[in-house]
Amino acid sequence: MSDSPEDLGVDFDVVVIGAGISGLVAARELETRSPKTRILILEAKDRVGGRTLGVEMKTAKYTKEYFDLGGQWVGRTQRHILGLLDELDFKTYEQYEDGDKIAQMGVSKPRKYSSKLPVTSLRQFTIFEIFDSIASFAKLTWLTRFINPFDYFSSKKSTNLDDMSVSKWSRENCWTRANQDAIDIATRIVAQSAGNYLNLCECVGDGAQALKINGGAFQVAQNLAGNLENIRLEHAVSEIIVDEQTGITCIKGIDLKNNQVFTFKCLHVISAIPPNQCGKIQWTPSLPDLKRRLFDGCMQGNLIKFVVTFEVPFWKTNGLSGEIVSTGRTPNIGEVHPIICTYDGTTAIGAPAIIGFMNEEYADKPFNERCNAVVNDLIRFMGDDALRHFLDYKDKIWAHEQYNGGCPSIYVPPGQMDAYQYIRQPFYNVHFAGTESATEWIGYMSGAVQSGYRSAHEVLQCMEKFDKVTYEHLKGTIYDQEYCPPKLPSNIYDETRSPWWRRLFFMSGLLFGIYAYSRHYRLSIVARTVKPIENRLVKYFFDVDWPE
Amino acid sequence: MSDSPEDLGVDFDVVVIGAGISGLVAARELETRSPKTRILILEAKDRVGGRTLGVEMKTAKYTKEYFDLGGQWVGRTQRHILGLLDELDFKTYEQYEDGDKIAQMGVSKPRKYSSKLPVTSLRQFTIFEIFDSIASFAKLTWLTRFINPFDYFSSKKSTNLDDMSVSKWSRENCWTRANQDAIDIATRIVAQSAGNYLNLCECVGDGAQALKINGGAFQVAQNLAGNLENIRLEHAVSEIIVDEQTGITCIKGIDLKNNQVFTFKCLHVISAIPPNQCGKIQWTPSLPDLKRRLFDGCMQGNLIKFVVTFEVPFWKTNGLSGEIVSTGRTPNIGEVHPIICTYDGTTAIGAPAIIGFMNEEYADKPFNERCNAVVNDLIRFMGDDALRHFLDYKDKIWAHEQYNGGCPSIYVPPGQMDAYQYIRQPFYNVHFAGTESATEWIGYMSGAVQSGYRSAHEVLQCMEKFDKVTYEHLKGTIYDQEYCPPKLPSNIYDETRSPWWRRLFFMSGLLFGIYAYSRHYRLSIVARTVKPIENRLVKYFFDVDWPE
């Protein structure tokens, strides 16, 4: 490994594509562990931070303050982001949770509750709904036991799950509307692999929404970027060409500011952009089949986040926590209310706000309509105070953000899950970061940090700047000494047979058909074999003689 | 509408993106109907033709001849392509079909048959397999009645179908392995909307594979391109920016030959590239939600087509038609044979060849391995003659073709079908062509021709170069006077309730639980109400006294 990249005719040792949290963490880790490495960071947008974003809003306390329109919460078990926050000297504070919450399931009226999940409040729900929700939560928790984040198809269960959508699962496994709704809401706003299903929905304890970062999560990327050189904004990569002999990789794209084509040659690449954006790049040579299917087939969620600031936190004085969950459905087909869920969004220094997520049906509506709809919906849930104390409204339709295409993370449509487990597989010298490639807290900032470390360690391993030791972050990668390739679900074919009861049903139907046919035509087979059996059976059970 | 585009500050009246059959047909139609229109055609590849492609191979008759590695067959009901072939003076000839066909289902041995479909040959298949296949074909044909190509969700059936993959459907609805295989093979090589399911699989009569074009289908695009000016090859579009006020559209991209950024302004755009490639373009303003989900979520099939030329058509002399269908499965999990299906590929002037499609598992294998595997598989089915008379082998992995990404056409993963019906919806002045946007023979050359005409007529309508008459091709578009927007499946939510038997099961389980509980604890309710009923029932049926 040469220390001077010029000798090999390359411009940089490592090119990092994407200046979100994972790309910046990877670059920082490379710089820390191997300070002489020449790193270039390319970012298609005109800002760093990826799916974290700050916005300035009018508040009560100060004239202006920043709020997060992107990633925001940190959970107590998200050790990778917590470790980074500690290193960067960021403080966290707890999500406000005291008081009653409000839930609206189906087309029923909003109901207050104070327990963990809306479905466990006995007085508000029917006994059917409670039994059903306990059963399905147990079932989901049981199913998560079968999914190994390093090898999804090591169990039969997961191949069956790959064939259906969540809504189909809930319709097949949940028997009440309220419970289908609860799962519907939960899956709209969360992602996979958080240890257990309950954790994903929860604000307290080990929940994913337990803590917020003082000053806003968007500052993490800005802080990281401030200590790195060679970040080029508005550089959109369009083509990655790997020389199969030398391994030298050529990164081509458009400098959007100057409308010029750029070309950089490098030895290693860290692709720290979402998989759906990897799919927009032309790869030479062609990606392997599974990787291509993953990049082409995955889709970004269509999350719309909004922040509303108020003069006073009226919900607290009214005994509410600020938490609302709702399906947004109305009795009229096609009509929807905007709010899916909200939380108290009061900042560390105490500026009152409500933050929440909006039904994707509102993505195509203009800003004024979205703002009015949200405020009206808040009035519906929390009363007229929401209008009286209103200060400012901002929102972000993440699906409309270019070079991103959605939030919070990708989902893989049914039938493509077999490709997902190859997300961490390097392609020649291209390594893949991004929260989707994490093994813990996929889709969260913590997953982004973990994947950043892992991809940096992969590159260090390739550059032989690392001892041949299996580091924690390299677990499950091809650099792991215990690595074995993930199992492919090619055995679906051989393991799925018709269930016994279907065969039995088919067989007995056929036998009955033959019997009825032969009786009707009085075939000799009846007289010879069936008649004696018939007579004996009917005599035994009904004590009468069976007619000819 | 001005006749001189310079007045409006634009470079062209119409920019057509993509020089496949649909783009070239659209440009030709525009030029024919409105000769003064200034048209530019941009093509990212270094050739025209899209998913049609010719390849030169060694043959017996002449030293070299061209074969189709892309779209090839024409069906007798494909009126749009037949009309075009007639105009361009192309001749067709019949697909050779005489003699026995060979089928291998599951892991069983290859079996010969001479009927329409492999599953109707009585002697070769078990009675279960035959019953099952007739039932499922009837079911599929019945299901196609519910799908309206202009409005997929006008029936309840289609919302249910949208939730599952074909393999799940076949596992739920087909009871025998042989029939699951037959459907598996069929769906791998065909697409939607051909009138009925049987037509898709058939070579004779109204089947999609009835006719071939003299000289090769790839010549159609070359012929069309020869009569058009202003085709720029190696111009890859990366960004489309619509000015919402003026409607003027800016097309940005890379001139791959000269590594320069190009920018063209125009009044109308026809996007004649596959939907998955539309998804790789950055759109400003953002696409509406459904269109974005369609472009991002759709995937191209991974078809690998091969042609093998021979000195003599030995299969004909051995009484075979050259047709093979196979799952390629072996008793060993993970191992697959390459051939999915083959046809006689003899050219119009009589050069013997076999053409076929390969299992996608071979996409990542090197050329030599693919060639050897195919020849060995042909030997397995047709005997040693396949090796003795072997001349040449060529194949095409369409998924590896840049700016295309697969063949024969896109498929939409479960849950995204609601977005598909918006494929023909214009976006400002951008109109969408391509075989995927057709309403007849989607995925075939005929669909490409139909969509080319439709998009050209849409542009003519916008340019007011067309009388306000509902032309045939504009049926179902927003220019149709009878247009009504397609129904969205938003009512899934309100129409799916638990079936009655599930409610009954739940209720009776609950009642039995209460009964058993109260009996066990000898609650007063037992003595007062349940005991008399118990006593009477047990006395009546079993003539004994029920204990306390």
The pLDDT tens digits of the residues spanning B237-249 come to 999 999 999 989 9
A334 vs B491: CB contact, 8 Å cut-off? yes
The answer, yes or no, to whether residue B287 has pLDDT greater than 60, is: yes
Backbone angles phi, psi at B297, to 5 degrees: -90, -20
The answer, yes or no, to whether residue B120 has pLDDT greater than 60, is: no
Pairing status of strand B231-232 against strand B39-42: parallel
Reported as half-sphere exposure (CB side, CA atoms, 13 A), residue B167 has a value of 19
d(CA B278, CA A59): 42
Least reliable range by pLDDT among A106-120, B294-308, B452-466: A106-120
The answer, yes or no, to whether residue B461 has pLDDT greater than 70, is: yes
Q: Closest to B416 (Cβ–Cβ): which among A260, A300, A413?
A: A413
The answer, yes or no, to whether residue B47 has pLDDT greater than 80, is: yes
**How does residue B260 score in pLDDT terms, banded at 50, 70 and 90?**
very high
Least reliable range by pLDDT among A117-131, A278-292, B90-104, B430-444: A117-131
| Alpha-carbon dihedral sign for residues B404, B409, B410, B413 | negative
What pairs with residue B260 in β-bridges? B255
d(CA B321, CA B114): 9
Place of tokens 């295409």: A405
Average pLDDT over residues A137-156: 56
Pairing status of strand A353-358 against strand A304-310: antiparallel
Reported as half-sphere exposure (CB side, CA atoms, 13 A), residue A367 has a value of 6
A164 vs B167: CB contact, 8 Å cut-off? no
% of chain B beyond a pLDDT of 70: 71
Residue numbers of B between 185 and 244 with CB closer than 8 Å to A: 236, 238
Q: What is the DSSP letter of B55?
A: E
Average pLDDT over residues A27-46: 94
The pLDDT tens digits of the residues spanning B418-442 come to 777 788 899 999 999 999 898 888 8
Q: Closest to A254 (Cβ–Cβ): which among B254, B297, B510?
A: B254
Least reliable range by pLDDT among A43-52, A322-331, B324-333: B324-333
Q: Which of A172, A241, A299, A327 to mutate to test the interface with B (most CBs of B within 10 A)?
A: A299
Compute the mean pLDDT over every residue in chain B, rounded to the nearest whole number.
Answer: 79
Nearest to B378 by CA among B319, B306, B302: B306
Q: DSSP alpha helices (H): ranges in B442-481?
A: 445-462
Average pLDDT over residues A446-466: 89
Domains of chain B, each with CATH number or no CATH:
5-51+217-299+408-468 (3.50.50.60), 67-75+88-214+301-400 (3.50.50.60), 501-542 (no CATH)
Least reliable range by pLDDT among B280-289, B426-435, B474-483: B474-483
pLDDT at res. B517: 73
The answer, yes or no, to whether residue B285 has pLDDT greater than 60, is: yes
- One DSSP character per residue, B97-141 reads --SEEEEE-TTS--EEE-SSSGGG-TTTS-HHHHHHHHHHHHHHH
The answer, yes or no, to whether residue A184 has pLDDT greater than 60, is: no
Q: Which of A180, A188, A260, A282 to mutate to test the interface with B (most CBs of B within 10 A)?
A: A282
The residue in chain B having the minimum alpha-carbon distance to the alpha carbon of residue A400 is: B286
The pLDDT tens digits of the residues spanning A519-541 come to 666 666 666 777 777 777 767 76
pLDDT at res. A480: 75
Chain B nearest CA to A1, separation (Å): 30
More confident position, A486 or B310: B310
pLDDT at res. A471: 66
- One DSSP character per residue, A280-323 reads TSEEESPPPHHHHHHHHH-EE-B-EEEEEEESS-HHHHTTEEEE
> Does B506 reach chain A within 8 Å, measured CB to CB?
yes
Contact B412, B158 (CB under 8 A): no
d(CA A127, CA A175): 12
Least reliable range by pLDDT among A310-314, B361-365, B472-476: B472-476
Chain B nearest CA to A414, separation (Å): 6
The answer, yes or no, to whether residue B473 has pLDDT greater than 60, is: yes
Least reliable range by pLDDT among A86-100, A259-273, B157-171, B216-230: B157-171
Q: What is the separation, in whole angstroms, between the first and last Cα of chain B?
A: 94
Contact A189, A116 (CB under 8 A): no
CA dihedral A442, A446, A450, A456 (to 10 degrees): 110
E strand or H helix at B395 = strand B390-397
CA A539 to chain centre: 65
B292 vs A497: CB contact, 8 Å cut-off? no
B261 vs A260: CB contact, 8 Å cut-off? yes
**Interhelix angle A445-462/A79-88, nearest 10 degrees:** 80
Contact B133, B182 (CB under 8 A): yes
d(CA A417, CA A431): 20
Least reliable range by pLDDT among B51-60, B91-100, B146-155, B300-309: B146-155
pLDDT at res. A503: 67
% of chain A beyond a pLDDT of 70: 71
**How does residue A500 score in pLDDT terms, banded at 50, 70 and 90?**
low
The answer, yes or no, to whether residue B138 has pLDDT greater than 50, is: yes
d(CA B205, CA B88): 24
The residue in chain A having the minimum alpha-carbon distance to the alpha carbon of residue B170 is: A498
- One DSSP character per residue, B344-357 reads E---TT---EEEEE
E strand or H helix at A181 = helix A177-189
Contact A80, A440 (CB under 8 A): yes
Q: What is the separation, in whole angstroms, between the first and last Cα of chain A?
A: 94
d(CA B436, CA B424): 9
A175 vs B238: CB contact, 8 Å cut-off? no
Categorise residue B281: left if φ over 0, alpha if ψ from -120 to 50, beta otherwise. Answer: beta
Reported as half-sphere exposure (CB side, CA atoms, 13 A), residue A1 has a value of 15
Nearest to B415 by CA among A429, A497, A167: A167
Q: Which of A129, A286, A501 to mutate to test the interface with B (most CBs of B within 10 A)?
A: A286
Residue numbers of A between 474 and 503 with CB closer than 8 Å to B: 488, 490-494, 496-498, 502-503
Residue numbers of A between 35 and 64 with CB closer than 8 Å to B: none
d(CA A6, CA B370): 40
More confident position, B173 or A81: A81
The answer, yes or no, to whether residue B200 has pLDDT greater than 50, is: no
Least reliable range by pLDDT among A80-94, B364-378, B517-531: B517-531
> Does B508 reach chain A within 8 Å, measured CB to CB?
no
Of B106-115, B410-419, B434-443, which has the strongest mean pLDDT? B434-443
Whether this model's pTM surpasses 0.90: no
Q: Which of B127, B235, B277, B292 to mutate to test the interface with A (most CBs of A within 10 A)?
A: B292
> Does A93 reach chain B within 8 Å, measured CB to CB?
no
Instruction: Show the tokens assigned to A507.
Output: 């067989």
Least reliable range by pLDDT among A104-108, B416-420, B495-499: B495-499
% of chain A beyond a pLDDT of 90: 42
The pLDDT tens digits of the residues spanning A222-274 come to 999 999 999 999 999 999 999 999 989 999 999 999 999 999 999 999 999 99
More confident position, A116 or A86: A86
d(CA B348, CA B331): 39
Residue A199, C-beta contacts closer than 8 angstroms, at least 6 positions apart: A75, A77, A206, A207, A208
Average pLDDT over residues A98-126: 67
More confident position, A108 or A274: A274
pLDDT at res. B20: 96
Which residues in A75-113 are b (16+ Cβ under 10 Å) and which e?
bbbbebbbebbeeeebebeebbbebebbbbbeebeebeb
Pairing status of strand B64-68 against strand B111-113: unpaired
pLDDT at res. B202: 47
Query: Amino acid letter at A527?
Result: A
Q: Please report residues of B whose CB lies closer than 8 A to that of A168.
A: 163-164
Q: What is the DSSP letter of B17?
A: E
